[in-house]
Structure 1
Amino acid sequence: MEYQLKPADRVEVTILVDNYIDFFIAASTPVERRLPFDPDRRIFAEHGLSCLVRVFSGKKEHKVLLDCGLSEQCLAWNARQMGISLADIEAVVLSHGHFDHFGGLHGVLSGAGRQVPLIAHPDAFLMRRLNNPARGPVDLPLLDPVTLKKAGADILMRSGPSTLASGHLLVTGEVERKTAFEKGMPGMEAYMEARWQPDPIRDDQALVINVKDKGLVVLSGCAHAGIINSVEYARKITAVDHVHAVLGGFHLTGPASAQVIPPTIGAMKRINPDYVVPMHCTGWDAINRFADAMPGKFILNTVGTTFVF
């Protein structure tokens, strides 16, 4: 099924939470807006992700938040330091139900003073654990729908594609998995059908915007479905072939991911986006390899950067 995604005049993606920060990094491409150095500004990094997405069409502006980082403190603090209010966002999209993406969600909802639509896949609320053979199972923080509703969430559980921002922004829903080398996250387990079993992380989803005369901007949270699967699925359901930018976590960190990095980069080069911005869980090794393999297209992210497409 194809979704007629309305073209946007411009999209701005501001990184409120990510793993990496550099106060002195300079812009290397026309699409970056780096925060000017200010010794009085305190910006933090943590193992998490949160992106404010502003979509512009004509005189209208839409604000949607993708994910809320690891901690409530980091997201709220960084937003204040950057002079950004989250009280007027139209919706929050949860890329998946892992703790480093919903940590600041309660604070965002309670600070809005109204009901805020929260778009999430039903599996985002599963009980989960990481089963490490050396240490045994480690339970992960649980996303509680009752607490979120009390905080002001209007929870919209959607497993398929849906649109926001008056039809200018697409939430992919569950991503088709077709690549042979993207196999999810080994060791993850979820409590399903009354037992613990391997977790396919079906709730993993991405945001997609079609920028007029530029092509698709694809923003992932962790891309547990595979960043190549995510981009190809976005192309399929929008019927837009050209990809302008791919941003977000690509989940290529850790020993199990080492063999996945080369085919991922090879596939991304064939997709040939104008820009690629690996963040969060992509991992330092993979980020450096993207930089080497895609000069002129690769952008090193840092907390506080706004990407303007």
Structure 2
Amino acid sequence: MAEYPLKPADRVEITVLVDNYTDFLVPQQTPVDRRPPYNPKRHLLAEHGLSCLVRVITGKKEHAVLLDTGLSGQCLPWNARQLGVSLPGIETVVLSHGHYDHTGGLEEVFCGAGHQVPLVAHPDAFLRRRMNIPSAGIFDQPYPDAVALKKSGADIRMRSEPTALAAGHLLVTGEVERKTPFEQGMPGGEIEKDGAWVPDTFRDDQALVISVKDKGLVVLSGCAHAGIINTVEYARKITGTDQVHAVLGGFHLNGKSFEKVIPPTIEAMQKIEPYYVVPMHCTGWDAINRFMAAMPGKCILNTVGTTYVF
């Protein structure tokens, strides 16, 4: 029996407001990706970050949930204006994890809302983090300030367990089970707990899951530090739904330390058999190109401003 059964949605629209790649000449590739029409006066920005607006539609009711807010604080509101997206209309913001390339625009979103907006995040998302690389040194990383966010209008809801949103049509996974042997997190990451720096296991990493009527699950990750395969399998487990329709988001397969992880990840994704795979952000060009070759017609090249309709 499912622990957190989802109400099926009639329609889901995921608009990519921030990602690493922008190209307004990429044509529509599948029936589900909708590219902004060519307009020389529209300038969409890219940066090393991620933010996606998720619209869940059932009957005449629509819910808007924002996953992450990019890196700079400038890219998200700029792209939203260019695309005609109303950020004040968002009913909930979800943090996939506490890394700075996903939290940079938080205060801009809350200050612009004019009212309190729920922010769903794991408690670890607000802890200090750093990279400790023996060959390069220690690099402190910016982290979200809970006090400042509350002052800007965030109603912070710290939760480690799954959380239902959008009237039960959308689920935040909470902490993801780690069962896949080849998904071992990010080497060099450290987090401060109880006054000591310890290896970062990214317990705060979480994803969004929506069930689309007669289609199956749509899984949207931020960076998938828990492993994109672990994430999808956990989504199947807690919702009690085996069929996966689409997997989108950052898969974190970029860099030399992840080269060996790419082939087993693609093989496992092929066994899951989603109809569509949309690698973004930290997946990396090498992994994206390998996904495109291994899953032709299913893997979609993402660009900023694209809306995926399921």
- Structure 1 length as normaliser, TM-score? 0.99
1:18 match: 19
Within-5 A mapping of 1:67-146 = 67-146=68-147
CA offsets, 1:118-155, max 9 Å, x none?
00000001110001112211100021100000000000
Query: How many Å separate the matches in 2 of 1:88 and 1:78?
Result: 15
Query: How many Å separate the matches in 2 of 1:276 and 1:81?
Result: 26
Shift of 1:108: 0.3
Query: How many Å separate the matches in 2 of 1:43 and 1:223?
Result: 25
Shift of 1:301: 0.3
Within-5 A mapping of 1:287-298 = 287-298=288-299
Could you say what secondary structure the match of 1:285 adopts?
Answer: helix
2:215 match: 214
Could you say what secondary structure the match of 1:252 adopts?
Answer: coil
Could you say what secondary structure the match of 1:268 adopts?
Answer: helix
2:163 match: 162
Query: How many Å separate the matches in 2 of 1:236 and 1:118?
Result: 25
Query: How many Å separate the matches in 2 of 1:101 and 1:193?
Result: 24
1:34 aligns with 2:52: no
Shift of 1:71: 1.1
CA offsets, 1:170-207, max 9 Å, x none?
00000000000000000000111221110101000000
Shift of 1:253: 0.2
Alignment gaps of 5+ in structure 2? none
1:244 partner letter: H
2:191 partner letter: A
Query: How many Å separate the matches in 2 of 1:60 and 1:267?
Result: 36
Shift of 1:296: 1.1
Within-5 A mapping of 1:37-48 = 37-48=38-49
Could you say what secondary structure the match of 1:87 adopts?
Answer: helix
CA offsets, 1:31-73, max 9 Å, x none?
0110011000010000000000000011100000000000111
CA offsets, 1:238-293, max 9 Å, x none?
00000000000000001100000000000000000000000000000000000000
2:301 match: 300
Query: How many Å separate the matches in 1 of 2:35 and 2:5?
Result: 33
Alignment gaps of 5+ in structure 1? none
Count of matched residue pairs: 309
RMSD: 0.6
Could you say what secondary structure the match of 1:111 adopts?
Answer: helix
Query: How many Å separate the matches in 2 of 1:80 and 1:71?
Result: 16
Within-5 A mapping of 1:159-308 = 159-308=160-309
Query: How many Å separate the matches in 1 of 2:223 and 2:143?
Result: 18
Shift of 1:160: 0.5
Higher mean Cα deviation, 191-200 or 116-125?
191-200
Could you say what secondary structure the match of 1:23 adopts?
Answer: coil
Shift of 1:94: 0.3
Query: How many Å separate the matches in 1 of 2:35 and 2:303?
Result: 8
- Structure 2 length as normaliser, TM-score? 0.99
1:81 partner letter: Q
Query: How many Å separate the matches in 2 of 1:56 and 1:249?
Result: 24
Query: How many Å separate the matches in 1 of 2:297 and 2:129?
Result: 39
Shift of 1:88: 1.1
